[in-house]
Structure 1
């Protein structure tokens, strides 16, 4: 039987023995988390929505790499719309939305975070083929194949999220249950499996591919500089194309590097075991993890001129004009 607490400390005072206690956090944490709730989620959702509209609306942007960025933005949009507010709600107050909404929340966030990681792997593969095997890139990486890969990424993320949610439901009987909290009831061994599947394996793939990409990119850049004065007009077009590919690789390299810096701390904490998972340090790493979803569109705005042009057309409502889908934004 659960210990009886003062009613003022309980989420549901009328339930007494079956109610959870209200979260005990410092005033500074409350201010910080409410600041995040009022700014970052809305900014994250808005910026990623601009990316989604840009790539979806303008036909010029219907390219394999941009479709991967579109898929990444969808998962980041869900993070901003659902994950950030939900985490702040769980940390600062009681959960009054019920078990069904709790299960739906856990499913959505695991789906979006897993899909984000899968999209990062696909982006790394895309750049690896574009830089290391440029002659076969147009035939190997087509719009159709990219769409298939994106669908498979979301399907696999859905299956993985369903598996975690099923394990969460099965573990409920092993924990002392109370009303007023939405927690993940996942056994520690499965946390280790999650670290391997959702951290070690994909991060290893991303790092290995990008190390090879930058080695090849550096050698190609040197070759272009040494022969730039001797090329013909036809070769100049090729050189310009290669420069564009190298610039895209550098931009997406920044995207992946920022992702890893925001992504790694959370899973590094997971190695420390169940005790540290309940500390405020986990809250910080989760916020950092989520903040990456807000940074991605800012990286696009900084490095991609097409995104800035597309946003200008969107905010001025020029996309509502007939034929705007064919506008030149590249």
Structure 2
């Protein structure tokens, strides 16, 4: 009787002895430390991406096609810090007590947000490819209106694409749970194959191919600019400055894309190999690594984009509340967004 009481204390729902999941078995000190660190990362992710969203939305000088894509990525990154990050922390440190319907909504939102993030990075790669490899037609081909349409299509696709993975839960919420206190979703072979192609293989190949092309062209342009004679420089100073701006943007966004691939690939590789082959902590670690990328993106902007450092200072010091906040920023040429 004593053994049964002790076992019941380890269950999420002791009154459902045979059908209840077991509580996560981590030491109390380890649980508190992990919870504090990951919660702090989640809060930083939300705060930093909120700065990006306010900056691009509020200051009209930043309403460029590239920055609209960064805005869309910042929205998905903010949602990552607001939903998937806390959700993964909760699932890894506690039983799921929120019910099957909330579990269904949570899993669906995670699919939408992560799919939109991948789509945004692909669009950013395409934007840089056109800007560097076809600069003469960039202004006419990549307009604000077209970029906004593609961003909307990206999010619409994410909403529709997520249904592919949660269709079983649409019929019956919690259908894939093996016990009470669990929140999981499973993917059948057909859906998994489609997801492998559309969500992993196609985006990764597209990103790598486009940026390899961008790198080759960028190197050749940099060499051409260095080899120009003084007389030629005087004639094409404006064009040269524009090229330098685009090259700098390409390098900055190249760092963003590389970090995205580094954090994205391990997570999908684990699921391809089969999560049952790895410990629960390993699966959680690679998932959170992918989510952690959402915290790194605004840090990249802060390191490489003067305009973000300037607008962040204006926002944090509440100067943005002043009527002339936009006019004051006009004095800074850093709003070239490069």
TM-score range, shorter chain: over 0.9
Judged with a 3 Å threshold, the aligned counterparts in structure 2 of structure 1 residues 300 and 292 are, in CA distance, closer, same or farther, namely: same
Q: CA deviation at 1:52?
A: 0.3
User: Which residue is equivalent to 2:86?
Assistant: 85
Please show how residues 43-192 of structure 1 align to structure 2 within 5 Å.
Answer: 43-169=44-170, 175=176, 177-192=178-193
User: Which residue is equivalent to 1:270?
Assistant: 271
Alignment of 1:217 with 2:205, yes or no, is no
* Alpha-carbon distance between aligned partners in 2 of 1:232 and 1:151, rounded to the nearest angstrom: 41
Q: CA deviation at 1:190?
A: 3.1
Q: CA deviation at 1:28?
A: 7.1
Structure 1 stretch displaced more, 152-161 or 231-240: 231-240
Q: CA deviation at 1:101?
A: 1.1
Q: CA deviation at 1:184?
A: 1.5
Equivalent pairs, count: 327
CA contact (8 A) 1:192 1:271 kept: no
User: Which residue is equivalent to 2:208?
Assistant: 207
CA contact (8 A) 1:262 1:288 kept: yes
SS at match of 1:275: helix
TM-score normalised by structure 2 residue count: 0.91
Please show how residues 183-262 of structure 1 align to structure 2 within 5 Å.
Answer: 183-262=184-263
Judged with a 3 Å threshold, the aligned counterparts in structure 2 of structure 1 residues 238 and 294 are, in CA distance, closer, same or farther, namely: same
The one-character-per-residue Cα deviations of 1:34-88 (angstroms, maximum 9, x if unpaired) are 1333310000000000000000000000000000000000000010011111001
Judged with a 3 Å threshold, the aligned counterparts in structure 2 of structure 1 residues 325 and 276 are, in CA distance, closer, same or farther, namely: farther
Q: CA deviation at 1:218?
A: 0.3
Judged with a 3 Å threshold, the aligned counterparts in structure 2 of structure 1 residues 179 and 125 are, in CA distance, closer, same or farther, namely: same
User: Which residue is equivalent to 2:34?
Assistant: 33
Q: CA deviation at 1:232?
A: 4.6
TM-score normalised by structure 1 residue count: 0.93
The one-character-per-residue Cα deviations of 1:276-300 (angstroms, maximum 9, x if unpaired) are 3653211111121111100000000
CA contact (8 A) 2:52 2:71 kept: yes
Judged with a 3 Å threshold, the aligned counterparts in structure 2 of structure 1 residues 148 and 267 are, in CA distance, closer, same or farther, namely: same
SS at match of 2:136: coil
Alignment of 1:288 with 2:289, yes or no, is yes
Any gaps of 5 or more consecutive residues in structure 1? none
The one-character-per-residue Cα deviations of 1:238-288 (angstroms, maximum 9, x if unpaired) are 101100000000000000001111111101112212413653211111121
Judged with a 3 Å threshold, the aligned counterparts in structure 2 of structure 1 residues 279 and 310 are, in CA distance, closer, same or farther, namely: same
Structure 1 stretch displaced more, 249-258 or 283-292: 283-292
* Alpha-carbon distance between aligned partners in 2 of 1:83 and 1:252, rounded to the nearest angstrom: 24
CA contact (8 A) 1:99 1:182 kept: yes
CA contact (8 A) 1:11 1:179 kept: yes
Judged with a 3 Å threshold, the aligned counterparts in structure 2 of structure 1 residues 101 and 74 are, in CA distance, closer, same or farther, namely: same
SS at match of 1:17: coil
SS at match of 1:136: helix
CA contact (8 A) 1:266 1:285 kept: yes
